[in-house]
Structure 1
Amino acid sequence: MKKIEAVVLPSKEKDIVDALQKTGIGGLTITTGKGRGKGVRHVKPGLGRYIERYNDVLTFFIVVDDSKVDEVVSIITDASHTGSLGDGKIFISTIDEIVDITTKQKGVAYI
């Protein structure tokens, strides 16, 4: 099992959720936050460069079977890509176990 954490622009929430639902990926958690990359954003021509202190971001947390990782990453990148600096990042990590709090059962069936 893998956990996919995607930090994206808030304006892309609906696009990402709709695209995930179309392929049957439904279980996810979304949190709001602030973040900052290391790049420089150009505000307007002629006004120079401006490094924003923090930007509003959403983080999607999705746990999927290993076989679905590439599909989910592709869905998120396609739905959130603008081609501009600050589109976001995706982090993928391994999940050792899942415990469903309601049933107290463990295992992949509870993704």
Structure 2
Amino acid sequence: MEHLHYEFSDKYKRYEATLDDMKVNIPEHLMNDESLRFAENVRNQYTAKLEELARFCVESETFEYVYPEATIEDVMKRLHLPILKVDEVGGRFTYTQHELDEDHLIDIEFVGVMESFFSVEVDG
């Protein structure tokens, strides 16, 4: 990932970059080669894991409450690319540009390189 330049945000104490149109945030205390490789692996596997992620959303009580009519296919088409926030166990996707509605942010947490998804939050 030598071609990718991360800028430090003093306000948020994190490094920020865009990797193939996906915004990536890495906290200052986690910024190292392993986190850089992790972010690249998540980005590279995102499309392959999208159906699994959409299924997790549709089956989530929280997501179903806000989007009761959503289907897996609908979620896959309307989520668009998230902001990837790297953390100690994996990461979190934050969807701010989705087309499911105009009022909510969607956060999905995962372990490892999307080995499993474990939380969906819908804020707004």
Normalised by the length of structure 2, the TM-score is: 0.28
Higher helix share: 2
Q: Which has the larger radius of gyration?
A: 1
Normalised by the length of structure 1, the TM-score is: 0.30
